[in-house]
């Protein structure tokens, strides 16, 4: 059932172009350049009333939520808070009837996420779920559901579910933006075109597997690594470090690049591996100056950047290029090399990739 692959994880990484395509299917009106989410009951009036959005989830789904905050705030102009479900449910958040609470869960069975959903409904909020499992507890209890069509995800480390959660977030943001009038026709067109290109671009990233596998041989020898980035690259850095820790057992940390000099820079000495994500054009120069800071301390730098950015390659030890796209959707492509590096480093280190120690696929107890 692994379809010729060594592990479910690599099979699922390779299924991402299809998962993205399936999640977009039927939800884009390419003629009118609009997003159609028929499954959602939220109408214009209900959307107008929303004055605050909360996103809550665990692990990788939480990292998708971090992307969600940036994207929704930019496109829908409503303040968004993102919280880990096990924190959210116990902190008595200021939810009202005018709040929209978005829960994200691949399995739809995560105990803390489900408890957060119930708490939000009790406080009168409308809950929208993004989930991959039809008929799961989260899907049944939420007021609205957007399914991610990733297909069954077997490996404990989440990959294709994450990218489809991002797709669901883009679709929802466009949809809310359309109804609230906070996104222009031009912006919508740009995003929709970028979304349509993603499956093919994800294929192109996957074609670099041999090169990434080579790089992972070096990564496998590390005991610590740092992931840095700004804006959406920071959100992807969070996911990249989790993937590496979870399956290769290499200690990894993600930092907002601008935060390094507030402490962590003390750990950056000769030869320390730093992965720099540099796809966000609004903060590109700032990211490069952080790259220079770690370079000056002798870090061993791996960059992930757009193909059009050949300059960055001259500054660092190794670069992985992803196809050019708009900043907003870049996370879908940026995460793929990080998944592959974590996977191949784990294989190299002989870990049980699909079932890492101490972890379960579905965390149904808190
Ligand atoms: O099923 P869920 O999306 O609710 O699961 C949430 C986390 O347990 C999950 O994403 C976990 O962090 C993964 N093992 C990460 O790869």
ipTM of the complex: 0.99
Q: 16 — phi, psi (to 5°)? A: -60, -40
Atom of ligand 1 lying closest to residue 157 CA: 16
Q: Which of 7, 9, 55, 60 to mutate to test the pocket of ligand 1 (most atoms within 8 A of CB)?
A: 60
pLDDT of residue 70: 98
pLDDT digits (tens, 9 = 90+) for 214-273: 999 999 999 999 999 999 999 999 999 999 999 999 999 999 999 999 999 999 999 999
pLDDT of residue 366: 86
Q: 116 — phi, psi (to 5°)? A: -65, -40
Is the Cβ atom of 157 under 6 angstroms away from ligand 1? yes
18 a catalytic residue: no
Q: Which of 158, 166, 352, 358 to mutate to test the pocket of ligand 1 (most atoms within 8 A of CB)?
A: 158
Q: Of 331, 84, 345, which is closest to residue 224 (Cα–Cα)?
A: 345
- Give the model's confidence band at 78: pLDDT under 50 very low, under 70 low, under 90 confident, else very high: very high
Tokens of 165: 């959660």
Q: What distance in angstroms lies between residue 89's CA and the mean position of ligand 1's atoms?
A: 17
Q: What's the rounded Cα separation, in Å, for the pair 347 and 28?
A: 38
Whether residue 88 is predicted with pLDDT greater than 90 in this model: the reply is yes
pLDDT of residue 342: 98
Q: What residue's CA is closest to ligand 1, atom 7?
A: 59
Q: What's the rounded Cα separation, in Å, for the pair 214 and 329?
A: 27
Mean pLDDT of 313-336: 97
Is the Cβ atom of 59 under 6 angstroms away from ligand 1? yes
Provide, for the chain, the percentages of residues in helix, strand and coil under a 3-state DSSP scheme, each rounded to the nearest 5.
50, 15, 35
Is the Cβ atom of 246 under 6 angstroms away from ligand 1? yes
Atom of ligand 1 lying closest to residue 165 CA: 3
pLDDT of residue 291: 98
Q: Of 218, 341, 222, which is closest to residue 277 (Cα–Cα)?
A: 341
- Give the model's confidence band at 139: pLDDT under 50 very low, under 70 low, under 90 confident, else very high: very high
Q: Which residue is associated with the tokens 């679709």?
A: 171
Residue 108: left (phi > 0), alpha (psi -120 to 50), or beta?
A: left
Q: Of 309, 310, 322, which is closest to residue 201 (Cα–Cα)?
A: 322
The dihedral through the CA atoms of 51, 57, 63, 64 has a sign that is negative
Q: What distance in angstroms lies between residue 80's CA and the mean position of ligand 1's atoms?
A: 21
Q: What distance in angstroms lies between residue 55's CA and the mean position of ligand 1's atoms?
A: 15
Tokens of 99: 């709040």
The total number of residues written for the chain in this structure: 366
pTM of the model: 0.98
Q: What residue's CA is closest to ligand 1, atom 9?
A: 59
The residues near 126 (Cβ < 8 Å, ≥ 6 apart) are: 42, 46, 99, 100, 101, 143, 144
Whether residue 14 is predicted with pLDDT greater than 90 in this model: the reply is yes
Q: What's the rounded Cα separation, in Å, for the pair 187 and 190?
A: 5
Tokens of 11: 């099979």
Q: What distance in angstroms lies between residue 148's CA and the mean position of ligand 1's atoms?
A: 14
Q: What's the rounded Cα separation, in Å, for the pair 285 and 307?
A: 17
Tokens of 2: 């692994």
Is the Cβ atom of 158 under 6 angstroms away from ligand 1? yes
Residue 101: left (phi > 0), alpha (psi -120 to 50), or beta?
A: beta
Q: What distance in angstroms lies between residue 236's CA and the mean position of ligand 1's atoms?
A: 15
pLDDT digits (tens, 9 = 90+) for 94-131: 999 999 999 999 999 999 999 999 999 999 999 999 99
Q: What's the rounded Cα separation, in Å, for the pair 283 and 256?
A: 12
pLDDT of residue 1: 86
pLDDT of residue 196: 98
Mean pLDDT of 55-67: 98
Q: What distance in angstroms lies between residue 85's CA and the mean position of ligand 1's atoms?
A: 11
Is the Cβ atom of 105 under 6 angstroms away from ligand 1? yes
Q: What residue's CA is closest to ligand 1, atom 4?
A: 105
pLDDT of residue 215: 96
pLDDT of residue 365: 86
pLDDT of residue 149: 98
What is the residue-averaged pLDDT of the chain?
A: 97
pLDDT digits (tens, 9 = 90+) for 153-201: 999 999 999 999 999 999 999 999 999 999 999 999 999 999 999 999 9
Mean pLDDT of 23-29: 98
> Three-state SS for 6?
coil
């Amino acid at each position: 059932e692994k379809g010729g692959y060594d592990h479910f994880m690599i099979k699922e990484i390779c299924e991402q172009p299809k998962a993205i395509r399936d999640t977009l299917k039927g939800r884009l009106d390419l003629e009118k350049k609009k997003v159609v989410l028929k499954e959602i009951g939220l109408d214009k009036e209900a959307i107008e009333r929303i004055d605050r959005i909360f996103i809550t989830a665990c692990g990788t789904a939480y990292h998708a939520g971090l992307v969600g905050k940036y994207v929704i705030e930019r496109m829908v102009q409503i303040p968004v808070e993102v919280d880990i479900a096990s924190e959210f449910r116990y902190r008595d958040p200021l939810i009202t009837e005018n709040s929209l609470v978005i829960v994200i869960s691949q399995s739809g069975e995560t105990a803390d996420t489900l408890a957060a959903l119930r708490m939000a409904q009790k406080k009168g909020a409308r809950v929208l779920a993004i989930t991959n499992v039809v008929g799961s507890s989260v899907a049944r209890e939420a007021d609205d559901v957007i399914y991610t069509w990733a297909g069954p995800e077997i490996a404990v480390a989440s990959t294709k579910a994450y990218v489809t959660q991002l797709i669901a977030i883009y679709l929802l943001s466009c949809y809310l933006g359309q109804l609230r009038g906070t996104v222009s026709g031009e912006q919508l067109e740009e995003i929709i075109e970028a979304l349509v290109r993603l499956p093919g671009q994800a294929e192109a990233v996957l074609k670099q597997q041999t090169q990434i596998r080579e790089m992972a041989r070096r990564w496998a020898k590390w005991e610590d690594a740092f992931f840095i980035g700004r804006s959406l690259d920071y959100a992807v850095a969070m996911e990249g470090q989790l993937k590496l820790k979870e399956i290769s057992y290499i200690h990894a940390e993600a930092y907002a690049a601008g935060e390094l000099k507030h402490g962590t820079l003390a750990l950056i000495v000769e030869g320390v591996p730093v992965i720099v994500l540099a796809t966000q054009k609004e903060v590109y120069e700032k990211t490069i100056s952080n790259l220079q800071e770690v370079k000056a301390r002798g870090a061993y730098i791996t960059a992930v950047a757009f193909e059009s950015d050949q300059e960055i390659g001259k500054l660092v030890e190794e670069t992985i290029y992803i196809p050019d796209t708009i900043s907003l959707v870049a996370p879908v492509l940026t995460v793929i090399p990080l998944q592959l590096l974590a996977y191949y480093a784990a294989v190299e280190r002989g870990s049980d990739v699909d079932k890492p120690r101490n972890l379960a696929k579905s965390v149904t107890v808190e």
